Homo-oligomer: A and B are copies of this chain.
Amino acid sequence: MNHRHLLLMSSSRKDQLGYLEHAHAQIHALLQHRQQQVVFIPYAAVSFDYERYEDMVRPVFEQLGYGFSSLHRHADPQAALQQADAIAVGGGNTFALLKRLQDAGLMSVIQDRVRQGAPYIGWSAGGNVAGPTIRTTNDMPIVQPASLRGLGLLPFQVNPHFTPGKPPGHNGESREERLAEFLALNAPEELVALPEGSALLVEGDQVQVLGERGALHFRPRGEVLTLHEGKRFALSRIQGPADMAGWPDFLPPN
């Protein structure tokens, strides 16, 4: 997948800024101000409907100068994605998003389109689902997908909404403890955690860290490396799952 153009964002919001307000330069960095039609996938929305989600996201892309349509408006979602210049996948619940993509037979359509060079933008759940699996989502498994296998657009796991520590008076796990559990059971895998406002821009086999808070590279045995804003590295620098052969594949479209 040498032609991949990906923008994987931690979150739709940073601090007190408006929806995707922090992300304007990041989106332009991927879409390069070129005139193009972005098709938005609202499937991660659970406690609000697709119309409301469309109303939140449309103005952002239109004000940045890009064409926009939401997938739920298209009679043939597969054809809409095949014809999309760029694909944007919003946040919400990662399990619901993955199950809906699987059930609609869209996983391989998105993979094909990205392989052909279409830019992919995902934030939060939409960033997580781009990885080899959704094993590093923060979301509650409110529905059961056929498999936890993701789009596999990049070879390692990303953890969005990274927040250190835990709230006072809470004895559940901190995020660092959860990620340490992932690393313990999946060695020698590594992952990249993104604080809110940060993103990875992937062009071919090269990654660049965007956002003033940078990113964290979690390695086995508790090693955590800071990846500062602007840092560039090869995709192969982060160890992903060595072998996906044992993973259940997507259900075929119904």
A residues whose Cβ falls under 8 Å from a Cβ of B: 11-15, 46-47, 92-93, 96, 124, 133-144, 147-148, 160-161, 163, 165-167, 169-173, 177-182, 184-186, 196, 247-248
Contacts and interface: CB of A to CB of B under 8 A. Distances in A.
Contacts of A167: 163, 165-167
Nearest to A246: B144
A140 B140 CA distance: 8
Nearest to A147: B144
A93 B173 CA distance: 9
Contacts of A165: 167
A46 B181 CA distance: 6
Contact of A134 (B138, B139, B141, B161): B141
A3 to B, nearest CB: 30
Ordered nearest first, which 8 A-B pairs have the shortest CB separation?
Answer: A161-B172, A46-B181, A142-B182, A13-B171, A140-B178, A144-B148, A167-B167, A163-B170
A143 B185 contact: yes
A138 B135 contact: no
A40 to B, nearest CB: 20
Nearest to A182: B142
Given A137-B141, A142-B181, A143-B186, 15 more contacts: A12-B171, A14-B171, A47-B177, A47-B181, A93-B181, A96-B181, A133-B144, A135-B142, A135-B143, A136-B140, A139-B173, A140-B178, A142-B186, A144-B148, A161-B171
